[in-house]
Structure 1
Amino acid sequence: MKKTYLRISPEVEAALAENRPVVALESTIISHGMPYPQNVETALEVDRIIREKGVVPATIGVIHGEIIVGMDRDEITYMGKAGLAVRKLSRRDMGAAVALGLDGATTSAATSIIAHLAGIRIFATGGLGGVHRGAPESFDISADLDEIARTPVLTVCAGPKAILDIPLTLEYLETKGVPVVSYRSDRLPAFYSSQSPYSPDYRLDDPADIARIFHLQQEMGLSNGMLVCNPVPRQYEIPQEEINPVIEQAVREAEEKGIHGKDSTPFLLDRVKQITGGRSLDTNIQLVYNNVRLASEIAKALAALSAGEL
């Protein structure tokens, strides 16, 4: 049955039909992750980087109740200018957004679901949502974790967001059976920082090896995704000993203001940006560029495996 609520751009549709590599991209990073105009500039530069790698970009979002896979420049600009006025969409919101004709920026969870619906197997983002600090009392756990556990899409990120409880996030992923890979590092990256004290399940140095593991997961009928953590380049990182006190200050301020749930991440990221004088935003932009480069290489290897060429 034709999915009337889903519009796949002709470029993305042709690439999927021809088994050419495609990388899915979320839209929350555009509307909620960065201010305008840096958000639109970053999104368009991400498109350019992916195309330069010989891969097709597929930015995903919802406009007037229509799910779009492969947003064009005008649609990305619309989402970026609207900013925080655009509703954040996770799994629970998708039906309502379509039925009510809403605009929506897709989180990692929603992007994974839609990518899978469209037949896209790789998704690149900035940082992974996870278990928030204080979660044993608040039960504040991102839906991103459950989604990566039940949707067969490979996610490339710069590690869990630094504002999270990283050890509990890793425990949750282990419980859910999600393999966590660190690219070319024995330590797990932590978003702004290229290294944390924590170890991944696997260190892999070749995008083709990453693609083989995910390809075999799918061949075995396993329905879970896979998490690939790609360290931000050292020249752009903010080391943990420098960023942790900033995050702790932002978390305290959120608690004092009673900010929690889906509002906490935008508040914390914006507050960290303010305290660091914009340096954290520069790091965020560079790690996104780095992630889409790696995701493109994995996508090419996965397409070659599917074609029996690797």
Structure 2
Amino acid sequence: MKKNLIYLLVFIVLLVVAGWLLTRNNREGTLGLEGNERYAFAIKDTGDVDKIIIKDKTPSEIILKRDDHHWTVNGSGRAREDAIEILLETLYRMEMRNFIPERMQPTVIKRMAVRGKEVQIYKNGKLAKTFYVGTEAHDEMATYMLIKGSDQPFAVHIPGFNGFLSTRFFTQEHLWRSRTIVSARPGIIRSIEMTYPDSSSQSFELNVFSPDSVYIKSLQSGEVMRNRDRVKTNLFLNSFRNLTYEGLIIPSDPIYSRKDSLLASNPVFRLKLTDIDGKVTTLSGYRIKGPEESLNPELEPQQFDPDRLHGFINDDKMVLLQYFGLNPILKPKDYFLK
């Protein structure tokens, strides 16, 4: 009788152990993720996020890291604030829209393995979450994503946003970098030199000795301007708080091959700004040939692009400039006359 009881107890224990092992094996595919953990994509405390790593299959990798009040790209140079804000907002708002039919899951995972991106989110220096971003859903209103540790992808979207999210997780370094040419408030500017090769009489140098002591002189004659308009001068100086370019021109762009020939030609303008620490920033702009058969408002042939210029920052970085953004600083000497 005792032996039968012992056998029964052993059998029950074995059943319990077998059941536990079966449950454990079933969970191995999700590494402990169950319930809504499988689709908890959102990062609600984005204020604690201090590093984001995005990798694709090319392979390319972007490391965005927060230092003090700014984000950097791959360890050097500031990141675009607008792009960081969009990414953090995406992490905060994105959520599971719907389950993916079981028959579709292998295809979604296969495409994710070929074209997907891995995103690692760090909070307070520690890895908090890793997920994979795949292709867009068929209706292009959601993106397939999968959290590391799960074997089930989901369609993820931002409620109220019509579109997919994969384009927000890009890995092109130049697109992440800040487009700031110079960021200088009036109090840190020592001098500004504006040269117009085609109009040398309007070239000038502005020197700041104090807020109430600003002198403008002609670069052609060396004569100091006597009747300076203080309001216009202040507006001009404040235009350098956030001077930006439209886009970076990289070696794969066709125009990049003309970099040296452009630098050897006369620019439309050349700016030289020196701050109180002696740091010098230069910017030069060059006309872009207009499209064939383009006409100006008077219906006359238009030789040059009326909206954009090619430019060089410190005679090195080649960029695309907009007249609209440059108008506040492209002022002739006579602009400052009272």
* Richer in helix (by share): 1
Shorter-chain TM band: under 0.3
TM-score by length of 1: 0.22
TM-score by length of 2: 0.20
* Richer in strand (by share): 2
Q: Which is greater in Rg?
A: 2
